[in-house]
Structure 1
Amino acid sequence: MLSACAVALRAGARRSVRRLPTRARVLPVTAARLQRQLSTSTARTTDLSARGMIIQTLSSVGSKREVQQYLSLFTGVSSQRFAVIKVGGAILTDHLDELCKALGFLYTVGLYPVIVHGAGPQLNNLLEEAGIEPQFEEGIRVTDAKTLRVARNLFMKENMNLVNKLEEMGVHAQPLTTGMFRAEYLNKEKWGLVGKVTGVNKEAIEAAISCGYLPILTSMAETEDGQILNVNADVAAAELARALEPLKVVYLSEKGGLFDASGSKISAINLDEEYDHLMSQSWVKYGTRLKIKEIKELLDTLPRTTSVAIIHPGDLQKELFTDSGAGTLIRRGNKLHSASSLSDFKDVEALKAVLIRDREGPDAKATVDEYIEFLKENPFKAYYDGPMNALAIVLPANDGRHPTLATLTITKAGWLTNVADNIFTTLKKEHPQLVWTVKEDDENLGWFYDKSDGSVTSEGCRMFWYGLGNSKEINKLMHDFTLHGRAMLGDSNLESRLQKAASKASSTKPKAQQARNYSTLARRPILSTPLFGQSKGRGYVTQTNPNPPIGKKNASMDRPARVALIGARGYTGQELIRLLDAHPNMELRHVSSRELAGQKLEGYTKQDVVYENLSPEDVRDMEKRGDVDCWVMALPNGVCKPFVEAVYEGRKSSNHKSVIVDLSADYRFDNTWTYGLPELVPRANLTAATQIANPGCYATAAQLGIAPLVPHLGGMPHVFGVSGYSGAGTKPSPKNDVENLTNNIIPYSLTGHIHEREVSTQLGAEIAFVPHVAVWFRGIHHTISIPLKQSMTSRDIRQIYQDRYAGEKLVKVVGEAPSVKNISGKHGVEIGGFEVDKSGKRVVVCATIDNLLKGAATQCLQNMNLALGYAEYEGIPVM
């Protein structure tokens, strides 16, 4: 049973006739009084199904590891130390629903932020209506008695509006409208009834949280003699933070963060490293400069574990529960130190403890001792923060080897405060090239993909690199790694010594091991194996082909590959021309179009190219002479066969063997051709191929949208697809007639479309496909209904997709259903939605793709790169 006072508050929130008088609702709330109000409240029992649903939704914005890690962090402190959230007046008027949904999520998983709100824009409007002209001095509102009266009534109203909205959603919220801040006059003569906070009523806040209520505060304060004073909401939030010392201080903003000179959102600011440089920039001025300065002054008074986030309310979950975040994260951080000799470390024993914390077994200490001996005798560069939450050691290039990241160890605190990102930023500044390895089952593999330019797998380990711009250099590195594994990255003598030391140690009686700090790093050898956690990864080459087939044109050539484009007039041909113009290792030598023969090719700047009208006989003779390394057939269905046969004919009397990539559907069902969808077809097949059938645009998105769930299918997936009219080609028809399409949507075919057969054949599972065309120009959206053979959660399904496409630079798994508007002009596929029905045995997945890019030209270039021996994403702006 709720107490009478609590019942009245709840009833008032529901607009009941049993509403407390206004005067009663604004009395100062002491801790004892609030405890009496709520002491008879039954303990809030979380609805387990609702909790599971919320955690599932949280997992849709980040990986399972991220969500669990941050939930563990946030719930590992006392409730009042989770977060202080400042809500501006504009958020209350324009984004109230998003705010309440975000707070509802947090509440349901047992997190209780302390909310303090303002109402500046509303106050300006009310003062104007009352004939009171707002006055500001140095950016602070001058508050007289009339202004204060209007402000006080407005704050009460906005507070109850927020409380009512939360209560309607089943979120218990406690209005704490006065008595929460003690204050004295800021400067009575200058600003009137404006307060400077001198104290916070922590007890009342803690009592509300302990009884299962979200505390909702207004930025009003009181003097010792009871005078109400107006306080800026940002100031109130800062003082709350100083009193509560939360993990997070969140400023909700319509803009969703701070922006740099180019208009790009700043993802993170590490004040200890960046503050002086940042404040020297010409674009850091006015409000941005003041905000950064005030946040630094706040964080300087708080524990280093506290960070500030500036975020839009709709992105609050992503900011709180993912490594990448969504707004601007500001933290003090820790300055990084470097060392190039053991004497640079203050305490070598402390260094040994750091190196041993991620190892286990009786050989750990002996192995680390050997490593220390190696460092005494050999050059290295180490990077670490003050508390040694993160340590990286780089071995320089020698004997033809590239600089190698030999050690990377991160504690929980180092990971959650993004010291790892700081270290990698420094590494990239000081080491233009770097190579390292990670276990293939590492749960943070995606983090390494983001830091690298490419990777390759061998014997359960994945080698990453960045900065190796020369294709020949990359090919050799990959070739050596696949042959020799990790030994090629380290010093072979050292490896032998480490193993000998470990063997010797293991033959002795095990000694007690030091208690291990929590670390997201897995157990590993010291050299060349920086690891984070354990999860299932994928084993395929994501960058270059280490062993191009003999006789094929590959990255070791001393000239660019020569490309001929047959059928260059269409939309896809034009997109491919644009991509080839930017490709560093390919040249477009021939373009064939009967209608445009004799005209200069526009949009290609490397050299002048004139359209030709090439016949099959011309193609045969060019292949015989070895004039072309790659033929791209960009012709309508059923037209390219004579040209392909001409290439075959030319090969008979020549040692030259070019690559053919066909963009039509003519060879997609021919088993002698390789189907060119690199994300689903083994890349080894493509690197060995000389004839590749490029998939259809609808079919690419549909396959990528269904493939991860094929083992879990409980019936036939149904795909409802809608494409822009560029998919209907350039030849005039009702399906690309804008006037006909306006206020209209047209099905291509109701059953039996060729892409239905294509997807079913490639997936090995029957699917139903109904394609449509609409009035926009480019981009496809698929809504895919997938029956499941057993009940699954949305979170589980999203994790399956994340694991399946980890490291795929042209596949992006998102939380919400992706939109065509956002994919237009991009080179990949976005997959999201993952909404499961009540039974748990049907999920709806959405996929979007630009039909002219990843649906055609971009995918063609991926296949060309692989078949010709270049980096797979060469010339492709990845997502």
Structure 2
Amino acid sequence: MSAVSAAAVRAASRSSRLVGSTQSSRARLVRPALTIASRSQRRQYASHEPQQLSTRSTVVQLLSNIGSKREVQQYLSHFTSVSSQQFAVIKVGGAILTEHLQTLSSALAFLNHVGLYPIVVHGAGPQLNKILEDSGVEPQFEEGIRITDPKTLGIARALFLEENLRLVEELERLGIRARPINSGVFTADYLDKDKWNLVGKITSVDKKPIEAAIQAGCLPILTSMAESSSGQILNVNADVAAGELARAIQPLKIVYLSEKGGLFNGDTKEKISAINLDEEYDDLMSQWWVRHGTRLKIKEMKDLLMDLPRTSSVAIIHPADLQKELFTDSGAGTLIRRGNKLKEVLIREREGLDARAVVDRYVTDLQGKPFKAYYDEPMEALAIVMPPAEGTQLAHLATLTITRQGWLTNVADNIFASIRKDFPKLMWTVKEDDENLTWFFDKADGSFSKDGEVLFWYGLETTNEVQELMVEFNKHGREMFGGINLESKLQKAARAAANLASSAARSAGLSQARAYSTSTRTPRRPQVTQPSTQSRRTYATTTNPNPPLGSKNSSNDKPSRVAIIGARGYTGKALIDLINRHPNLDLRHVSSRELAGQKLQGYNKRDITYENLSVEEVRQKAENGDVDCWVMALPNGVCKPFVDAIDQTGKDQVVIDLSADYRFDSGWTYGLPELVDRSAIARAKRISNPGCYATAAQLGIAPLLEHLGGQPTVFGVSGYSGAGTKPSPKNDVSNLTDNLIPYSLTDHIHEREITAQLGTPIAFIPHVAVWFQGIHHTINIPLAKEMSSRDIRNVYQDRYAGEKLLKVIGEAPLVKQISGRHGVEMGGFAVHSSGKRVVVCATIDNLLKGAATQCLQNMNLALGYGEYEGIPLD
């Protein structure tokens, strides 16, 4: 049985003949041992094909370092199967040109040295925004499209020419000939002159300048400017220009270079490796995290691919990983393609199915033997699964046959995904020398290796199930699994099916079809092996129950407008500083009665003046959709009228309350990401931010909840910033000097909050001290059983493994080490001599992780950004 790992159709390129490279001053590329000839030697190289082939061979050898030689040769052959201009269209954003120019140029040089000629289309949006802002002109957008007046167009035109020349010169420096193409390709009409002014809608694409550049041995480097039929220059979005160019060129690959390197699953925080639109589009678009820019991007990709051959695909990738994306099965970015929609046929004692002739022959051969067949419309791949025998739950994948084209187009993964939906428990065997053995390891939960054979399985839930499977395989070989005789009942049918599939494939003109059936041998030295950890493509809708934490990946790359109500306090100022750092948050309104009319200090993205927004003004702004996220930074008991006003509009806006007003409201989501389901926060529109004391106390107790032997007691001491800005004895430095002030010694609201969230009674005793910011908790926890300090520390380390803002240390943490930092530290773990009581210490900055930082975590999750975006991580 055989298949290939999750490859997508890999972009095609030019014919195998190489055009000469250049330059006598030898410039070294990113990867070692590869030198590039100079421009002065170009003509000489053009007449020496063997030397060019040697260069190509060297690059292929280097590419083999990122994947198997088989993968590299396979994709390279695929790329060179079409004309040069049909290899790939690569869209380069302005941020890539600014931050990753050398990486981009080196990647393009690699492609050129194996004879590939990608067509590059670039934008310069971020650079244009900066120039305009430096000139005192605020960029104007309508429905996400830049309004382009003559002055803006003039600046954009000059900027695009400059950026185009920078990329061309960098390529030439590496010995790669490149041709700037700044006009003559895109013809456009006005998109809507009254609305967007000098913005164009492309009506036609002239390929001749591109073809001429490639015929001359140059990489074509295009700007996204267009001209009207009367010669007026018009601004066109670079993504749109790349899409229209792809429709005209019909390339195998469309590549969008991105700093993030792909799209990300909002539940697992993992990069989405592959999206097969035919199989996944509807399900994907129903996901809660597919919204804003991500939703638009996926829809645009689908519309584009529907206009292209099924062999075309879109890749979203960081330039540093371009070679890995193009030349390996696993890829590196997000691959989007139409896929082959699988036609599933259930055959049980039936004949005459109206598929292909091979299906009828299967029915004839397997009559009376229930099985399920999976195949795609062109019969590039076919799988046969024998359902579980009576009294068992384990199905058997008897045959998988797939052509080379099926390997390249990801059909094998699609089929296996369909099988997995239908059969939760499956086994199969593969010969040890199968060239695609790692693919099967990737699909399995476990394996059992014997002389010449590997038994794979998934879905077995207990050790006993695995042991029984291996024992049966070891004892009986071909006679196993509830009395089923593989030789008489499965193997004959499987081999017959495989033979029939092969002959049918040959008759249908499917060359290089490979068919394998399962078999067993008498075991000698069994060996249990673990599934391979080799990287592979994963699907957008796959859910990981234990997602990696701390991802900076996001499903939204569009700015979100933020308003802060009550920003005079310390927390409001800390939050403003964090928003100022955030790449995608745009602070629009800051409301404070005392500071109304004054200019906001410490925010650099735009000039903002404090307002004193009334409840009605907040309602109107919510009604108009002026704000995406409202932050209530008001004292307890004050924010309800504002929240009610926003609720009345029924608009889809996020509200985060920093007070205690809604921490006990079941209609609000409690925003402590380290202890609350992050997906719940991400779906929430009303989020109550936990208290500072409560955050550190819950984190300090939670790992030991199942070991509690009594009520925990929290002795907490805060700096005086926790008492707010309104003068009181608790924030009077002279009163606090040489002093420690206890307050609210019972029934403090944080005591009720911690108790409610942990689900167990706790005692909380707060104090205030003379330092400005930072909290120290000394937490006494009775234990239900004897435990050692080391045992307890291990419990905490296991519970918080991977959390970016939690640090478990050995000694008791100190306030001065946490002040000004964005996380929580916990340690001490001193166990009483009885072994039945432990003291845990926890520290937190009450203004940051205790308030503003945690608020930003919740904002990021709810707005679709990476959870830690904009948060400095130590």
User: TM-score range with shorter-chain normalisation?
Assistant: 0.5 to 0.7
Shift of 1:496: 8.1
Within 5 Å, give how 1:663-674 maps onto structure 2.
none
**Is the Cα contact below 8 Å between 2:351 and 2:363 reproduced in 1?**
no
Shift of 1:313: 0.6
Within 5 Å, give how 1:578-727 maps onto structure 2.
600-601=787-788
Aligned counterpart in structure 2 of residue 225 of structure 1, from 227, 230, 235:
230
Aligned to 1:379: 370
Shift of 1:414: 2.0
For 1:399 and 1:467, how far apart are their aligned partners in 2?
A: 18
String of CA shifts for 1:201-236, please: whole Å, max 9, x gaps.
112212222222111110011111211111100000
Within 5 Å, give how 1:113-512 maps onto structure 2.
113-262=118-267, 263-341=269-347, 342-343=350-351, 345-351=353-359, 372-398=363-389, 402-486=394-478, 488=480, 491-494=486-489
Shift of 1:472: 2.5
Residue 542 of structure 1 pairs with residue 542 of structure 2: no
Q: How many residues align?
A: 495
Shift of 1:380: 1.1
Shift of 1:392: 1.4
For 2:461 and 2:195, how far apart are their aligned partners in 1?
A: 62
Aligned to 1:679: none
Structure 1 residues 452 and 145, CA gap change in structure 2 (3 angstroms): same
For 2:103 and 2:164, how far apart are their aligned partners in 1?
A: 16
**Is the Cα contact below 8 Å between 1:269 and 1:329 reproduced in 2?**
yes
Aligned to 1:574: none
**Is the Cα contact below 8 Å between 1:404 and 1:528 reproduced in 2?**
no
Structure 1 residues 511 and 134, CA gap change in structure 2 (3 angstroms): closer
Shift of 1:132: 3.5
Aligned to 1:60: 65
For 1:499 and 1:452, how far apart are their aligned partners in 2?
A: 20
**Is the Cα contact below 8 Å between 1:80 and 1:244 reproduced in 2?**
yes
What is the aligned-residue RMSD (CA, Å)?
A: 3.8
Shift of 1:376: 2.3
**Is the Cα contact below 8 Å between 1:458 and 1:485 reproduced in 2?**
no
Structure 1 residues 41 and 318, CA gap change in structure 2 (3 angstroms): closer
**Is the Cα contact below 8 Å between 2:187 and 2:204 reproduced in 1?**
yes
String of CA shifts for 1:308-335, please: whole Å, max 9, x gaps.
1111111111111112111111111122
Helix, strand or coil at the partner of 1:424: helix
Residue 94 of structure 1 pairs with residue 99 of structure 2: yes
Helix, strand or coil at the partner of 1:261: coil
The letter for the 2-side match of 1:339 is V
Aligned to 1:714: none
For 1:316 and 1:511, how far apart are their aligned partners in 2?
A: 38
For 2:174 and 2:115, how far apart are their aligned partners in 1?
A: 15
Shift of 1:244: 0.8
The letter for the 1-side match of 2:787 is K
Shift of 1:59: 1.3
For 1:157 and 1:387, how far apart are their aligned partners in 2?
A: 48
Helix, strand or coil at the partner of 1:384: strand
The letter for the 1-side match of 2:324 is K
Structure 1 residues 337 and 434, CA gap change in structure 2 (3 angstroms): same
**Is the Cα contact below 8 Å between 2:351 and 2:364 reproduced in 1?**
no
Aligned to 2:86: 81
Residue 517 of structure 1 pairs with residue 510 of structure 2: yes
Aligned to 2:554: none
For 1:307 and 1:201, how far apart are their aligned partners in 2?
A: 22
String of CA shifts for 1:680-725, please: whole Å, max 9, x gaps.
xxxxxxxxxxxxxxxxxxxxxxxxxxxxxxxxxxxxxxxxxxxxxx
Shift of 1:91: 0.1
The letter for the 1-side match of 2:510 is N
Structure 1 residues 301 and 495, CA gap change in structure 2 (3 angstroms): closer
String of CA shifts for 1:489-545, please: whole Å, max 9, x gaps.
76432468669999x99xxxx999747624474x534x569xxxxxxxx9843159x
**Is the Cα contact below 8 Å between 1:437 and 1:486 reproduced in 2?**
no
Structure 1 residues 181 and 501, CA gap change in structure 2 (3 angstroms): closer
For 1:194 and 1:134, how far apart are their aligned partners in 2?
A: 14
For 2:368 and 2:447, how far apart are their aligned partners in 1?
A: 31
**Is the Cα contact below 8 Å between 1:299 and 1:331 reproduced in 2?**
yes
Helix, strand or coil at the partner of 2:290: coil
Structure 1 residues 340 and 136, CA gap change in structure 2 (3 angstroms): same
**Is the Cα contact below 8 Å between 2:451 and 2:526 reproduced in 1?**
no
Shift of 1:457: 2.9
Normalising by structure 1, report the TM-score.
0.52
Helix, strand or coil at the partner of 1:393: strand
For 1:500 and 1:436, how far apart are their aligned partners in 2?
A: 14
For 1:39 and 1:343, how far apart are their aligned partners in 2?
A: 66
Shift of 1:440: 1.3
Shift of 1:462: 1.6
The letter for the 2-side match of 1:280 is S
For 2:337 and 2:353, how far apart are their aligned partners in 1?
A: 26
Aligned to 1:791: none
Shift of 1:343: 4.7
**Is the Cα contact below 8 Å between 1:374 and 1:494 reproduced in 2?**
no
String of CA shifts for 1:833-865, please: whole Å, max 9, x gaps.
xxxxxxxxxxxxxxxxxxxxxxxxxxxxxxxxx
String of CA shifts for 1:594-623, please: whole Å, max 9, x gaps.
xxxx96235769x99xxxxxxxxxxxxxxx
For 1:145 and 1:500, how far apart are their aligned partners in 2?
A: 71
For 2:216 and 2:513, how far apart are their aligned partners in 1?
A: 35
Structure 1 residues 495 and 277, CA gap change in structure 2 (3 angstroms): closer
For 1:133 and 1:288, how far apart are their aligned partners in 2?
A: 25
Shift of 1:391: 1.6
The letter for the 1-side match of 2:310 is R
Within 5 Å, give how 1:543-562 maps onto structure 2.
none
The letter for the 2-side match of 1:107 is N
The letter for the 1-side match of 2:403 is T
Helix, strand or coil at the partner of 1:377: coil
The letter for the 2-side match of 1:108 is H
Shift of 1:400: 6.2
Structure 1 residues 191 and 500, CA gap change in structure 2 (3 angstroms): closer
The letter for the 2-side match of 1:492 is E
**Is the Cα contact below 8 Å between 1:44 and 1:212 reproduced in 2?**
no
